[in-house]
Structures are given as C-alpha cells and as structure tokens.
Amino acid sequence: MRARAYKGLLAAITTVSAVTLPGVPATAVVSPTPVPAKGARSLPVDVLAVKRHLERFQQIAVANGGTRAAGTPGYDASAEYVAGKLRAAGYRVTLQEFDFPFFRVIGTPTLALVSPTARSYTPETDFRPMTYSGSGNVTAAVQPVDVVLPPSAEPSSTSGCEAADYVGFVRGNIALLQRGTCGFRVKAELAEAAGASGVIIFNEGQAGTGTADRRGPLNGSLGDATTHIPVVGTTFAVGQELAKPGSRATLAVTAESDPHRKTRNVIAESRWGDPGRVVMLGSHLDSVLEGPGVNDNGSGAAAVLETALQANAAPTRNRLRFAFWGAEELGLLGSQHYVTSLSQRERSKIKLYLNFDMIASPNHVYGIYDGDDSDHVGAGAGPEGSDKIEKLFETYYATLGQPYKGTDFTGRSDYGPFIAVGIPAGGLFTGAEGVKSAEEAVTFGGQAGVAYDRCYHQACDTLANVNERALAVNTGAIATAVAVYAYSPVLPGGSTAPAATAAPRRMAVLPAWEDAALR
C-alpha cells in the first residue's frame, strides 16, 4: 500500500470504550480504509463477544473429555458452533470434509526396566509414545540394533534404518533403536517385520541448544498408522541404560488409531464483493488432544469469528472469506487439503491470506509475520505483497503506541500452504513454547526466562491462560485489517503467480517442526 495510504491509516484508527481493561479498547472502531472507497464503513468488534466465544469453546471441551482435537466430538461441536453463528449472520458456509490418520493414547503408558535392576520410567519426562504407535503390553528382552554408544560427535546414526540391521534379531524381543538419519516410521516398520514385540527409540545423545540438543525425551511421529506394536521415544539416558547387556523391560501402550478418521474445515464466504478479489482470513479451530486449546487456538478462532460476524452487515468492494481449519495440530492438514483442492484459477482469486494463531499468550509479545524478511532470520520473504501486509500491522501497533517485533515465516501455521503457492500472507502471533528474553521483557512486559505460553499444548490451556490485554489489542488488529482490505481498491496480491512459478522459498511444504518430529 502507498505511503500516503498508511499516513491516512494512522489518522483513521481510534479507540473507544475502555470498559474492562484500562488503556485497551473493549471495542475497536477503525476507518475501513486509508484509500477513499465508496460505501466504506467502520467495523466495531466487541472484545466481550470474543470472550463469549472463548467461554463456549471451554464449555465444549469440558463436555467432551477436556479436548477439542480434530477427530473428536469436541472438535465436531466446535465446528458446528462456528458454522451456526456464520450461517445466522448470512454467510455461505461450507463444511469441507477430509480424512486423516487419527491417533490418541488411552490411559497411562508404561515403560519399566525389569532386570538386571528394577526401575520404572516416567511418562513425558523419560518417555513418550510415538504418534501412531500401535497397542500392546509386552515384557521381553531388550535387543539393541546397530546403536552407537557413546554417540558420534555429529548426528549420524543409522540404527534400524535397513533390513540388514536386523540380521540375528530374536523374534519377540523389544528392539532398542537410536534416533538418527532415517525416519521413525522406517525404523518401526523394519523392526516389526523382523519380529519385534515393541520398539524403543532413544534420542541420539549429542549435546546442544534448542532442537540441536539430542538428549531429552524424544517426541516423535510415525507419520501414519502403519505399525501394530507399541513404539515409544525416550531420553538418551534411558536408552543408554536399556542398552546394557541382560536388560529386560515391560512396555505397554494402549492407543486408538484410525487411518481414515474424518474431520472438517469450516469455510464461510460473504455474499458481497467481487468474487475475483478474495480477502481471506483463517485460524485453526482444533486443539491438541491434551487440552481444550483456549489460547491455542481458541483465541485466534474467536477473534476471527466475531470479526466475521460484524463484517457481513454491509456491501464490500472485495469478497471476504473466513476459514476455520481442522487438524492443524497434526501438520496443517486442513489448510493443506484446502489449498491443494483449489484449481489454479481459484487460487488466483485469493489476493491475500491472513493467519491468526495464538493471539493472547499469557507472557506475550506482539509478533507480526516478517513478510519482507527485514529481520533476516530463518525463511526468506513471503510472496510479493506480504511486505505490505506486515506494514499494515506495524502501522496499527504504532498508532496504538504498542511495541511489536517480526516473527519468522517458519511454516508452523496455516499460512504455510498459501505462501507455498505464491499467495501473499501475513498475520499475528504472540508466542508459544519459546522463552521470553530479558530484552523482550523490557519491551513487552512479562517475565524473562519464562515461556510465552507455559500451558502450550497442555490441559491448563483454559480461559485462565488468556491474556485479555493481548486479546483486545489483537482483535482490534484483525478488525482493522478486514476493514482496510474489504474496501481497498488496491490489494497486496494484485496478481498471484502460479504455483510452478512462485518465488523460491527456503521453507518446504512440510513444516520444519513436523519434519523434525518424524526423524
């Protein structure tokens, strides 16, 4: 957008009615566009209404075993709630069904050393069932397969990666494998084919920081429900102990797997505006199995929902489309299904995509996706036009006197499939399991050395885990973006390059975090 337009936006945003949060608007009223447009209107979004949606998501989770994960009744109830609200507001609502391999652990898994000494290991701390593990309860000898102890200086283990590694393997034993260069699924399938009654994959053992540290509990995925024996990942220390001669262990996992579990995206399209100029917003609607997901990502879904309910009251220049994605927590499955199901002609109509995932973290920062790569961190710039989206949000925060920072296009959320095919994207993020730095604490407040969201992917991600100030500020940002782009004659994605000619990206379609979880 032009510099003149952004100066107009600075003068246009006003805040009123700070009822519940001193200094923060309960209702944000924004001028619909910095570029004069016929029929433009303001877009008030009541943060109290957003909170009511969050309360409903919490109630749905409580009524359905504490979760709203894809493939569970809690998610289905969430989708029906959102779809019902949108239909009542006059949107054309589509429930886009797709299937995916569903998995959950039932009860508490067990891993215990029986001999030469007895010791029980602690779930989550010492070991975790691999996603898509089979079920079973076995006590057997532990047989190491091509493990390297002590570990090499660099990750390089090929333990269990080839059928030849299992020559001499005793059927019925538990296979002990080391993390390394091939996928967990390859290891597990080869072990099962060799007659293993269970599989233990331990971290490789190299010291490091962050994801480079290969000593902690291994939290991995087999990628699909193809294995029929229990498979767990452990710390390096547990694997090292189990590798000692004469080790015998008990391994028990009860899991539910369904390779074709069905779930749905909720897609709502307005009846106004040019259908060839689509302004699209989205948030994932699912939680993880472990909790209700009120911040992750009830916060984004509730704010987008309430913005949509207010945005359909009058004609707009451009077509508005809102998406509530299923199975994001399993690897962006809903958004990936949606984008791949579109023809190139339909993709070209989407002029921008805005994503809102975790917008009210308790120890938050105000993060804007780095569309122009001005931070020079991680992945490169987004498709052409992403820089303009970033600028709009920067201007919004600056107008309110709020600090902000860039956050990398890592591919960890549902913008990934859109930027992979050349659609400009942007959005907001207040932090997940990462730790707030001392510098960030000075800038944004909160606690240094503490995670942005200490309840990330846990049962405590409830209403009490939502920062109301961040929710209010970011709801205003979403309302601002919709009001601007609904009426603007100039959109970031004036043209969208075909997928085959889209600008090269350093991010694969498979997100980096998901790739790391598979091997």
Give the active site residues: 328
Burial class (CB in 10 A: 0-12, 13-18, 19+), 164: exposed
Q: Show Cβ contacts of residue 50 under 8 Å, excluding neighbours closer than 6 positions.
A: 302, 303, 305, 306, 471, 475
Instruction: Select from 236, 335, 240 the least CA-distant residue to 284.
Output: 335
- 336 is written with which tokens? 């990936």
| C-alpha pair distances (Å), 84 with each of 88, 92, 94, 196, 267 | 6, 11, 11, 49, 12
DSSP for 231-259? EEEE-HHHHHHHTSTT-EEEEEE-EEEEE
Please report where in the chains the tokens 């913005």 appear, as a residue: 307
Q: Show Cβ contacts of residue 303 under 8 Å, excluding neighbours closer than 6 positions.
A: 45, 50, 283, 356, 359, 471, 474, 475, 478
Q: Are strands 136-144 and 248-253 parallel, antiparallel or unpaired?
A: antiparallel
Instruction: Select from 20, 91, 6 the least CA-distant residue to 307.
Output: 91
Which amino acid does the sequence have at 454? R
Burial class (CB in 10 A: 0-12, 13-18, 19+), 380: middle
Instruction: Select from 22, 41, 18 the least CA-distant residue to 31.
Output: 41
**For the chain, counts of helices (H) and of strands (E):** 13, 19
C-alpha span between 207 and 203 (Å, rounded): 11
Strands in 357-472 per DSSP E: 367-369, 405-407, 425-429
Q: Show Cβ contacts of residue 102 under 8 Å, excluding neighbours closer than 6 positions.
A: 70, 71, 225, 256, 257, 258, 259, 261
Contact 357, 293 (CB under 8 A): no
C-alpha span between 37 and 456 (Å, rounded): 42
Evaluate the CA torsion angle 512, 516, 517, 519 in order and state its sign.
positive
